[in-house]
């Protein structure tokens, strides 16, 4: 099928392989117009296409990067991936995408496979584990960038949202609209899942800074599948929160399910604000006030940093980049002028 090689072109053009090679690499400074044309014609005629694998073997570089994500279906993932892919195209790089499913074992396996495939660098939406593996990579100066999450002990570039700021934005906005009893909803906390920790911690801090009550019961942290149940408990017993802060789109979805199933009116019965700007934010009723991440910029930055490491393999100072969240004001939080907490 694809059997035509450089040797074939050389033969047809009556030159040597080296000359063809030079031609391909645009080193035609010392090449006669004549031979250049002959080679061009030979290539054309044979439909020759260079074998990049062979080139890679020689040059020890593949113009390919690996991206490992913990959840390929997540909106953030896909948007960042989009930016990464675009940046790579501009540089003539390819990207191999692997989905770890948030399983550290899989993650480790894919890192190994990708390395074996000689990728020039790795961008990873990490599970947060595998510290040893990453440690080895940074020691070897292998180009590596974390996105969205990171591994605490590892000194590598990381592209993160300014999570504390995002949480603070939410609290401040709610506070300025007269809300006091505010709850937060998140998946289970785990020290290796950095954004979750930072958002909840940021939330707690902002609350105290604003002089608002920190109510233990109002911190709903549960598996996504149990969130509705937990919310039901919360709203059944005692005084429910006036507002809820969803730390990401998945938890928001669950809250939205919950309010729909229970006839809770947003924002009159319950105000809502969340991180991640969901696509339906402005067609939902009410439209959803959200805190957006600059996903495209983050992906672009991740690619940039990786390329930086790839081109100059010397030591570089690993940095953590915190991207600013943006509050998008819509209608799921209203101004609570007078302290009415009745329905409708």
What lies within 8 Å, CB to CB, of 211 at 6+ separation is: none
Pick one of 23, 70, 142, 245: the residue that binds a copy of itself (CB under 8 A). 142
Task: Decide: residue 312, CB within 10 A, 0-12 exposed, 13-18 middle, 19+ buried.
Answer: exposed
Report the interface residues with DNA, using CB under 7 A.
Answer: 3, 5-7, 14-19, 21-22, 24-25, 29-32, 34-36, 48-51, 54-55, 57-60
Residue 79 contacts a copy of itself per CB under 8 A? yes
Q: How many CA atoms lie within 13 A of 246 on its CB side?
A: 31
Q: How far is CA 238 from CA 137, 149, 234, 241, 244, in A?
A: 52, 36, 8, 10, 16
Which of 22/62 has CB closer to a copy of itself?
A: 62
Contact 274, 288 (CB under 8 A): yes
- Measured between alpha carbons, how far is 131 from 146 in angstroms, rounded to an integer? 12
In the block, which residue shows the tokens 């993932």? 77
> Is 285 one of the binding residues for a copy of itself (CB under 8 A)?
yes
Q: Is 50 in the site for a copy of itself (CB under 8 A)?
A: yes
Residues in region 247-276 near a copy of itself by CB under 8 A? 253, 256-257, 260
Of DNA, a copy of itself, none, which one sits near residue 14, judging by CB under 5 to 8 A according to partner kind?
DNA
CB of 33 to DNA, least distance (A): 9
Pick from 19, 22, 62, 130 the residue near a copy of itself by CB under 8 A.
62
Does 44 participate in binding a copy of itself (rule CB under 8 A)? no
170 contact partners, CB below 8 Å, separation of at least 6: 203, 206, 245, 273, 274, 275, 291, 327
- What is the contact surface with a copy of itself in residues (CB under 8 A)? 1-2, 49-54, 56-57, 62, 64, 72-73, 78-79, 81-82, 85-86, 89, 92, 94-99, 112-118, 140-142, 253, 256-257, 260, 278-280, 282-285
């Amino acid at each position: 099928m694809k059997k035509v090689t450089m040797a074939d072109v050389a033969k047809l053009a009556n030159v040597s392989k080296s000359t063809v090679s030079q031609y391909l690499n645009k080193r035609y400074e010392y090449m006669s117009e004549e031979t250049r044309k002959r080679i061009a014609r030979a290539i054309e005629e044979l439909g020759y296409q260079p074998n990049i694998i062979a080139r890679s073997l020689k040059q020890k570089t593949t113009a390919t990067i690996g991206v490992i994500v913990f959840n390929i279906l997540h909106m953030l993932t896909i948007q960042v991936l989009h930016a990464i892919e675009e940046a790579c195209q501009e540089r003539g790089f390819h990207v191999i995408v692997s989905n770890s499913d948030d399983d550290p074992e899989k993650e480790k396996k894919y890192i190994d496979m990708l390395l074996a495939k000689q990728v020039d660098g790795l961008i990873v939406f990490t599970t947060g584990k595998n510290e040893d593996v990453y440690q080895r990579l940074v020691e070897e100066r292998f180009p590596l960038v974390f996105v969205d999450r990171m591994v605490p002990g590892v000194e590598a570039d990381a592209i993160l949202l300014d999570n504390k700021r995002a949480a603070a934005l939410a609290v401040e906005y709610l506070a300025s609209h007269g809300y006091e009893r505010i709850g937060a909803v998140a998946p289970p906390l785990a020290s290796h899942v950095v954004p979750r920790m930072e958002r909840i911690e940021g939330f707690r801090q902002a609350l105290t800074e604003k002089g608002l009550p920190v109510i233990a019961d109002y911190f709903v942290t549960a598996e996504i599948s149990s969130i509705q149940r937990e919310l039901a408990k919360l709203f059944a017993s005692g005084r429910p929160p006036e507002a809820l802060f969803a730390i990401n789109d998945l938890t928001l979805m669950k809250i939205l399910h919950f309010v729909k199933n229970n006839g809770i009116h947003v924002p009159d019965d319950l105000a809502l604000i969340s991180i991640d700007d969901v696509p339906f934010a402005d067609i939902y009723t009410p439209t959803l006030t959200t805190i957006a991440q600059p996903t495209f910029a983050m992906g672009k930055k991740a690619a940039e940093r990786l390329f930086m490491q790839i081109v100059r393999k010397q030591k570089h100072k690993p940095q953590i980049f915190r991207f600013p969240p943006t509050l998008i004001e819509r209608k799921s939080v209203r101004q609570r002028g007078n302290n009415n907490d009745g329905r409708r």
